[in-house]
């Protein structure tokens, strides 16, 4: 093998390495489905739901962990941590099950005004750890929109 052939293969390997290391785009929020409130008391209330997301990446990903704060009309409703491995197909939607221990003391003062509204401002803030081929990165999660939710 001559010097030019070796140089060609080195450039080809470098080009393949750079194209395979595309930046991971954070999954996009789509919807919240199957929302249920389980209350044994005001101090022991949980909200469970499936958060539907879309993977805009051209490769499969793995969700490793995440944390999320949920706000309703700018009041903290609760916090959740998820430490579960979920395999995510490329260019496809997927669901993450969420269980939130609701802090009604932050919301109870406005419960009547929230119940009378036809929509509320839902804000999700947090981070998720996603990756591929054993390389994981933390990406921020932020979503804010008026939603027709009947929580109260």
Report field, pTM of the whole predicted structure over 0.75: no
Over residues 70-75, mean pLDDT: 84
The predicted pLDDT at position 25 comes to 81
Query: Which among 80, 84, 85 has a CA at the least distance from the CA of 47?
Result: 80
Which domains are delineated in the chain? Answer: 25-147 (2.60.40.1820)
For 119-146, the pLDDT digits (tens) are 778 888 999 888 888 888 888 888 888 8
Q: Is the dihedral of CA 83, 84, 88, 94 positive or negative?
A: negative
The length of the chain, given as a count of residues: 152
For 43-53, the pLDDT digits (tens) are 677 888 888 88
Query: Which among 85, 89, 105 has a CA at the least distance from the CA of 97?
Result: 85
Query: Which among 43, 84, 44 has a CA at the least distance from the CA of 62?
Result: 84
């Amino acid at each position: 093998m001559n010097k030019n052939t070796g140089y060609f293969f080195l450039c080809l390997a470098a080009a393949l390495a750079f194209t395979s290391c595309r930046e991971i785009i954070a999954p996009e929020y789509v919807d919240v489905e199957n929302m249920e409130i389980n209350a044994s008391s005001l101090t022991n209330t949980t909200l469970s739901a499936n958060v539907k997301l879309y993977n805009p990446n051209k490769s499969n990903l793995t969700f490793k962990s995440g944390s999320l704060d949920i706000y309703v009309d700018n009041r903290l409703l609760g916090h959740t941590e998820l430490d579960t491995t979920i395999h995510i197909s490329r260019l496809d939607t997927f669901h993450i099950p969420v269980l939130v221990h609701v802090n009604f003391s932050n919301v109870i003062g406005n419960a009547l005004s929230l119940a009378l509204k036809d929509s509320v401002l839902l804000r999700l803030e947090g981070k998720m750890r996603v990756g591929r081929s054993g390389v994981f990165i933390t990406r921020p999660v932020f979503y804010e929109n008026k939603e027709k939710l009947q929580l109260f």
